[in-house]
Amino acid sequence: MFDILTLVKASGYLGIFAMVFAESGLLVGFFFPGDSLLFTAGILSSAGLFNIWLLAPLVFLAAVLGDNAGYYIGRKAGEKLFQKEDSFFFRRSHVDKTKKFFEDYGTKAIILARFVPIARTFAPTFAGVGQMRYKTFFLYNLIGGALWGLGLPFAGFFLGNKIPNIDHYLLPIIGAIIAISLLPVIKLWHANFAR
């Protein structure tokens, strides 16, 4: 388990942008801690480490651009991409779970996947593979990017300003965020594999 607080502090604006971009659309970014990363960055903004008015738009831009990259990877590489064998960065099970998620929620999956680890990385690629119209994809991408990329940093910023000494409660808060973000994954697993 790595220290999310140290990771965010050491990463700075450029590192946060790169992690959000990679997690949003490059198939190797599924292991980044997106939700807790953004919330923690928001809390640190309330303490003056980041400027929230720079951080939040930067995260939104990284999320939208990352999803666009994922969409084009899916569009260009197509089904060949998902015939790869398992490796450190690529797991067939991640693909199968995201495909099921996409089938269940359709175009709304682009928005909902923002809040679901692993699906966040693979959903834009599935949209490209499935030849979703780019205009449709881009609209949902903007909405999801705004809700996630602006919402989580501002939520952290707001809480950081309202709760004195919030840094003392950071680990339980991050634990709760991780647990909440895993609920859809557990539900999906239970619906498909626990029969």
Structural domain boundaries enclosing 135? 4-193
Q: Higher pLDDT residue, 93 or 73?
A: 73
Question: Of residues 9 and 51, which shows the higher confidence score?
Answer: 51
Average pLDDT of the chain?
80
Whether residue 180 has pLDDT greater than 70: no
Q: By the 8 A CB rule, do 74 and 121 touch? A: no
Residue 2 has pLDDT above 60, yes or no: no
The whole-number pLDDT of residue 104 equals 74
CB atoms near residue 136 (< 10 Å)? 12
Count how many domains the chain has: 1
- What local confidence, expressed as pLDDT, does residue 178 receive? 60
Burial of 99 (0-12, 13-18, 19+ CB in 10 A): middle
| CA 45 to the chain's CA centroid | 20
pTM for this prediction? 0.78
pLDDT tens digits, one per residue of 94-119: 667 666 767 777 778 888 888 877 77
Residue-level pLDDT at 195? 47
Residue 132 or residue 52, greater confidence: 52
Cβ 120 vs Cβ 113: under 8 Å = yes
Burial class (CB in 10 A: 0-12, 13-18, 19+), 100: middle
